Amino acid sequence: MKKRTAIIVLILMLAVIGGLGYIDYGIIRDTVNTPGQGESIRLGLDLAGGVSITYQATGAEDPSSQDMADTIYKLQQRVTGYSTEAQVYQEGTRRINIEIPGVSDANKILEELGKPGSLYFIKQTGSDGTPNYEYNGVTYALTKDLEALRADGSIVCDGTNVISAEPATRTDTTTRKYVVNLTFDDAGTAAFGAATTDAYNKGETIGIYYDDYFVSVPRVNEPITGGQCEISGQESFEEAERLASTIRIGGLNVELEELSSSVVGAQLGSQAIRTSFLAAGIGIILIMIFMISVYWIPGLASAFGLIIYTEVVIGLIKAFDVTLTLPGIAGIILSIGMAVDANVIIFARIREEIAKDVSVSTAMKTGYSKALSAIIDGNVTTLIAAAILGIRGTGTVQGFAVTLALGIVVSMFTALIVTRLIMNGFYGVGFKKEKFYGRAKDRKVLDIVSKKWIFVAISVVLVLSAPVLMVINNNSIGHPLNYSLEFLGGTSTTVDIGEDMTLDRLESEVKPLVAGITGDNAINISNVEGSKVNIRTRELTLDEREQLTATLEEKYNLTTENIEMENISATISNEMQADAIWASVIALICMLLYIWIRFRDVRFGAASVTALLHDALVMVACYALTRISVGGTFIAAILTIIGYSINATIVIFDRIRENLRTSGKVPLEDIVNKSVTQTLSRSVFTSLTTFITVLMLYILGVASIRDFALPLMAGVICGTYSSIFLAGNLWYLFRQIKGKSKNS
């Protein structure tokens, strides 16, 4: 690259950094200070606060797609009244998820949502001639309860019989009238026709009753037998539109039952956003300092590339309107640590080429070329883990998968294109001497193969610690792992009481309050952090949850904002356990197949998968030892480390494959030892940068994200160990089984 071109390239890169930085500053500022407004990123409920509900259609048969679509539409109309940012979407064939940010009274919302046919068309008088409703001087009110009206036949039809309700404007001579046009289904047409004929003959009305009050009481001016009618008398088009909307949402085509619900306070989300962005910023700065101090000019180029990488990821999250969750932030921060991995591989290759006394320019070209296969294979296998999480996971786990996958793709782009352009720019402006890039030093070859049985023994002990710790836990806490609500089902209530509570006080004061409502003593109460207390019980009914909320508010002078509640049925928890198992199995199989195809030797795949199983079991042992809550993010943590570990292993296997082609008749143990030694700096440096970012997340993050970060740190250490000391030895042992001790 000529000097003039190099200067232009560097100026353009600085302009890109400045321009993207200015845009991202606005995005981050609005997200932290005014979430949900301006240019802020769309936040999940665990960050924005609000209510999340999952319903399932009742009945033995799946509802039709039309019925589900109609139900979703009507629910969307209902929840918009709580928040314009509310979302309703279908999951599978019979489930509907509802997310309403910015609200806190989950029990009230649960009472109002999911009611089939809560809009009724009621005759003015019953079969005995007595009025069903009367005007009390202010409004119309029922004189009988709904059950009595239903038994009497006074309920003509309900909201499920309404196909459409639309506002309209009609002009009679010089008068403009605002009306609502209704269309009924076949059953509604027949019932409405008979009722309006009877009402017309008596000169009566038919009241439209929704959620405990009459929204309209129109007089019947003629029998309506064709399935279509017009309600007149509205004073404005807006009034007609409101009435039409109320009638539309007044009936659900599908009867729903609650499977799970949760409410998250906005204060937790605000704190999580601030601390997570701070952790990311500190992590990036530390990684940049590390890369520059180790690699000089290439390190400086990678630092600029890392800035662009971070800016692009934030911009894409905003551009594609990705919903950012707490695990999603963890995915971004984790991918920041992994983003430098490709650079480390490339820079190590460049130093090796320089050590062969070739020019820096040639070394740069060759280094990128030789590093390409390891980078692609390593990142593709990590993407497999992210894809499985995205397919099998739900909610926040999917958010983690999306941001992790996005980070991996962008990191490949910045490493292979952006950082390379910046390096060529530095080279073009005059940084051409070897001292700016470094030369690989001759290292004493690590003899790990001769000590293979020591490493195998260490791994066996680590793996066996998992079932041992699980047995101990089962005897002490009743479960092999500290399963969260997502795995056990039940109701979890987190209360900010406003004062620190001792364990004795929790047992003597809070537990009896809860037991008086639940009717049993199967209650787990613990301090979470500060003045927050967590109460876990069996799955409570809606009435019990309301009673518990009211009791806590009265006892400790609280408001609904101080109470967060999560309810998960056994159906959901059983499915989550099955999904966790299947996700792990599918990921391992896909990785095995990919490595088998790419390396054309099933023993590479077998060794990789064995090492990954080792890492997964060590992660389980970490959860068992620390008794960190095992919930939805558990499988995310396991698969993330599997993806991270396979990335490191493939770099070593790629070097083994290369040395097999170029080393001639060299003993396999020498090839393994040489390959591990050649890639040692990459393994250590990548692990260190990844560990730094996750450590920042652990130090600065909120409690729930620390529970996610701690196992990841353990997994990074374990993955580094297995890729360096175990994977190569396993491949060597598998080759020995075939009776091949020489490269042939």
pLDDT tens digits, one per residue of 588-618: 888 888 888 888 888 999 999 899 999 999 9
Q: Which of 683, 687, 592, 617 minimizes the C-alpha distance to 384?
A: 592
| CATH code for the domain in which residue 509 is found | 3.30.70.600
Number of alpha carbons in the 13 Å side-chain half-sphere of residue 51 = 22
Looking at the structure of the chain, the number of domains it has is: 5
Q: CA-CA distance, 683 to 608, in Å (whole number)?
A: 16
Structural domain contains residue 473: no
The more confidently predicted of residues 85 and 714 is 714
Task: Tell me how many degrees the CA angle 489-399-286 measures, rounded to the nearest 5.
Answer: 120
The more confidently predicted of residues 64 and 423 is 423
Structural domain contains residue 236: yes
How many Å separate Cα 647 from the centre of its chain?
23
| CATH code for the domain in which residue 197 is found | 3.30.1360.200
The answer to whether residues 389 and 518 belong to one domain is no
Structural domain contains residue 668: yes
Q: State the pLDDT at residue 266.
A: 59
Whole-number percent of the chain with pLDDT over 90: 42
Structural domain contains residue 367: yes
The answer to whether residues 218 and 247 belong to one domain is yes
Q: Is 201's pLDDT higher than 90?
A: yes
Q: State the pLDDT at residue 302.
A: 95
Q: Is 509's pLDDT higher than 80?
A: yes
Q: State the pLDDT at residue 672.
A: 96
Q: State the pLDDT at residue 394.
A: 65
Q: Which residues contact 302 (CB under 8 A, 6 or more apart)?
A: 291, 295, 340, 343, 347, 415, 419
| C-beta separation of 632 from 395 below 8 A | yes
Confidence of residue 724 (pLDDT cuts 50, 70, 90): very high
The answer to whether residues 425 and 503 belong to one domain is no
Q: CA-CA distance, 101 to 264, in Å (whole number)?
A: 9
Q: Is 222's pLDDT higher than 90?
A: yes
The answer to whether residues 246 and 139 belong to one domain is yes
Last residue of a domain, one of 552, 567, 582: 567
The answer to whether residues 285 and 418 belong to one domain is yes
Q: Is 239's pLDDT higher than 70?
A: yes
Q: CA-CA distance, 615 to 646, in Å (whole number)?
A: 10
Q: State the pLDDT at residue 480.
A: 93
pLDDT tens readout for residues 631-640: 777 877 887 7
| C-beta separation of 374 from 654 below 8 A | yes
pLDDT tens readout for residues 276-302: 888 888 989 999 999 999 999 999 999
Confidence of residue 740 (pLDDT cuts 50, 70, 90): very low
pLDDT tens readout for residues 8-55: 999 999 999 999 999 999 998 888 887 767 778 888 777 777 888 888
Q: State the pLDDT at residue 268.
A: 58
Q: CA-CA distance, 13 to 311, in Å (whole number)?
A: 13
pLDDT tens readout for residues 551-584: 998 888 888 778 888 888 766 667 777 777 787 7
For the whole model, what pTM was predicted?
Answer: 0.74
Q: State the pLDDT at residue 741.
A: 42
Q: State the pLDDT at residue 490.
A: 86
| C-beta separation of 646 from 591 below 8 A | yes
Q: State the pLDDT at residue 260.
A: 84
What tokens were used for 154?
Answer: 């006074």
- Residue span of the structural domain in which 230 resides: 119-251
For residue 251, CA distances in Å to 61, 77, 211, 245 come to 20, 11, 11, 11
Strands (E), 4-132: 50-57, 87-91, 95-101, 119-123
Read off the pLDDT of each residue in 103-113 and give the average, rounded to a whole number: 72
Q: CA-CA distance, 87 to 101, in Å (whole number)?
A: 9
Mean pLDDT over all residues of the chain? Answer: 86
| CATH code for the domain in which residue 626 is found | 1.20.1640.10
